[in-house]
Amino acid sequence: MKIQFAPMNLPLKRRLQTFAVFQWVFSFLILAQICAAIFVVLLLSRYWWIPALYACWLFLDWETPRRGGRRVEFMRRWRIWNFFRDYFPVHLVKTTDLPTNENYLFCFHPHGVLVAGGFANFGTDATGFSTAYPGLRPHLLMLPLWFRVPFFRDYLMCAGMVPSDKQSATWVLSRPGGGNVAVLAIGGAPESLDAQPGRHTLQVLHRKGFIKLAHKVGATLVPVYSFGENNLFFQVPNPRGSLLRRVQDRLQAFMGVALPLFHARGVFQ
């Protein structure tokens, strides 16, 4: 197949949009591994005292992700997220007002491959969430595994992200005074294996724990649909029952992380 490269005279704005998406994909796929490697390398070098001090801090700060995290609004408003938004583009469509005296569980569908819509709308303020819903604080829920990685966990918390376990979600949804939003991709990692362009395969029937949790803490359920989420990447065909799908399902059950084989346009295309 012939590769078509992008014209050399592309506007700077478009190149910045491509860079914004590239760094996001890079962060999502391998930044955690790089952070862990840096921690180990420093520990084995003459700068061992840096990870040693961080380990002490980590011991004291271990439960912070499950207690609402440590969001940094300045980071959520970085200009690079505007370029990220405009690349696709991503729009937040408001359909109703939400009172700030309640807590909400946003039920996000579909998961897609990398949850791009969820991150753009709730992990940043690029689409104007704070303007559309003043007084509400969104917390995008992610796999707890990532909050065990040195340095990377702090990066995630700056964006307002918290672990997707029961303890973390309960903390966010039970805060007195209201105004807190937990954003959960209901289908989770397994749903990413069904993310194919033009398809809307959701995993909901066997994932009703979020309804029980919302009822228990008195939070309001709000459906959120990310149109076009599954159209962002092409995934290697993996129908249920195929060898590839069986391997992916086993790896997901063992590691807790789905491994879809996907591709899209290249950086220079």
Per-residue pLDDT at 8 exceeds 90: no
Residue whose entry in the numeric block shows the structure tokens 């910045």: 16
Residue 38: the pLDDT is: 97
Q: What is the pLDDT of residues 105-119, one digit of tens each?
A: 999 999 999 999 999
Judge contact between 143 and 256, C-beta under 8 A. Answer: yes
Range 244-253 average pLDDT:
89
Per-residue pLDDT at 269 exceeds 60: no
Mean pLDDT rounded to a whole number for the chain: 93
Range 18-32 average pLDDT:
93
Alpha helices (runs of H) in the chain, residue ranges in sequence order: 12-26, 32-43, 49-61, 73-76, 80-87, 116-118, 129-132, 152-158, 166-173, 188-192, 209-217, 243-255
Per-residue pLDDT at 42 exceeds 90: yes
Q: SS3 of 107, please?
A: strand
Residue 7: the pLDDT is: 65
Range 245-261 average pLDDT:
86
Range 172-188 average pLDDT:
96
Which amino acid is located at 170 in the chain? T
Cα diameter, the chain: 58
Residue 5: the pLDDT is: 60
pTM of the model: 0.92
Those residues whose C-beta lies under 8 Å from the C-beta of residue 217, and which sit 6 or more positions away, are 103, 170, 173, 174
- How many contiguous H segments (helices) and E segments (strands) does the chain have? 12, 7
Which amino acid is located at 24 in the chain? W
- Residue 2 confidence class, pLDDT cut points 50, 70, 90: low
* SS3 labels along 228-247: CHHHCCEECCCCCCCHHHHH
Q: What is the pLDDT of residues 209-222, one digit of tens each?
A: 999 999 999 999 99
Cα 64 to chain center, whole Å? 18
Judge contact between 111 and 185, C-beta under 8 A. Answer: yes
Per-residue pLDDT at 184 exceeds 90: yes
Residue 21: the pLDDT is: 95
The angle, 0 to 180 degrees and rounded to 10, between the axes of the packed helices 32-43 and 49-61 is 120
Residue 128: the pLDDT is: 97
Query: How much of the chain exceeds pLDDT 70, in percent?
Result: 95
Query: How much of the chain exceeds pLDDT 90, in percent?
Result: 81
Distance between CA 146 and CA 143 in Å, rounded?
Answer: 6
Distance between CA 118 and CA 138 in Å, rounded?
Answer: 10
Residues constituting the chain: 269
